Amino acid sequence: MSAPLVEVRDVNFAYDNRPILKGINMSFHKGKVIAIMGGSGCGKTTLFRLIGGALKPTRGEIRIDGKATHELDQQGLYEMRRKMGVLFQFGALFTDMSVFDNVAFQMREHTNLPEEVIRDLVMMKLHAVGLRGTHDLMPAELSGGMARRVALARTVALDPTLILYDEPFAGLDPISLTVVGQLIRKLNDALGTTSVVVTHDVQESLKIVDYIYFIADGVIVAEGTPDEIHASDKPFVHQFVHGEMDGPVPFHYPGGDYRTDLGVSA
C-alpha cells in the first residue's frame, strides 16, 4: 500500500490546561473515505482544525503529503489549503451570490481561467450533483438538501486531493441524506481524492466509508472497517452504533445522592 496522504502521529492538543486530544494516531490513504465518530465535545472538530493548520498540536505532528503542517509558513499553509476542500455543516453558502457564483467563487479567486471555461466547469460540477438547472437561483430559494449539494459542488470545484466533511448529514431528510451520502462516495471515487467525514450518522456512514475511527475522551477507543465495527463487542462502539441511552456514555451526569437532593432522609 502506498504512503498515506494524511498522517496523524501521536497528536496531543489542549486549550490552556484542558486536554482535548491525547495521543491520536490516524492514517488516511488516497482514494479512501474515512469516518471520524464520537460524542459531542470529544475533539472531532479540533482534529479538523489541526489538519487544516488552523491550530498546532501541543505535541506530535500532522503530515499531509509528507509535510508537517505545524512547520509550514503562511505561504506554505496557503498552498496546502488550495489542495483541500471543506464542506461546512449546513453548507455555508454565500447568501448574496447565486448558485452559479457560489460554485465559481474559488475558480475566480485562485485561477486565471477565462470566464467561458469557468462557466463550463461550474455547469459540470452542478451536473455532477444533479443541480445544473439551479444555477440562476439564490441560496434562499433552495431546500436544505439542495443547498448541501450546491455546497458539495463548490467544495470539489478545484478538484481537491483532500476533502473534509463536517457533519454533512445534519438536518437532512432521509432522501437528501442518502443522496448526499452517495455523492460523497461517488465524487471521491471519480476524483481519486481522500475524504474525511466527521459525523454522528452511523448507519449512513457505514454504507459509504472504508474505515472508521471512534474517539471518546480525547483518545481512539475503536477503529476498523464497517464490517469490523458492526461486529465489535466493545461497549462504547455497541452503544454508539445502536443508539442506546445508557452505557459507557452514561444517561445521568454525575451528581450527589438523589435522595439527599430531594431532601429525603435515609
Per-residue pLDDT reduced to its tens digit, 17-33: 888 899 899 999 999 99
Predicted confidence band at 232 (pLDDT cuts at 50, 70, 90)?
confident
pLDDT at position 82, please? 83
- Among residues 204, 194, 200, 203, the alpha carbon closest in space to that of 214 is found at 200
Q: Which domain holds residue 113?
A: 6-238
Mean pLDDT of the chain: 85
Q: pLDDT tens digits for 94-146? A: 889 999 999 999 889 888 999 999 999 999 999 988 888 889 999 999 988 88
Instruction: Show the cell assigned to 107.
Output: 475558480
Measured CA to CA, the distance from residue 135 to residue 225 in angstroms comes to: 38
- Mention every residue, 6+ apart, whose C-beta is less than 8 A from residue 152: 87, 129, 168, 180, 183, 184, 187
pLDDT at position 38, please? 78
Domain holding 34: CATH number? Answer: 3.40.50.300
Average pLDDT of span 49-75: 87
In a domain, 244, yes or no: no
In a domain, 167, yes or no: yes
pTM, rounded to two decimals: 0.83
pLDDT at position 122, please? 93
Counting every residue written for the chain, the total comes to 266
Total domain count for the chain?
A: 1
In a domain, 17, yes or no: yes
In a domain, 260, yes or no: no
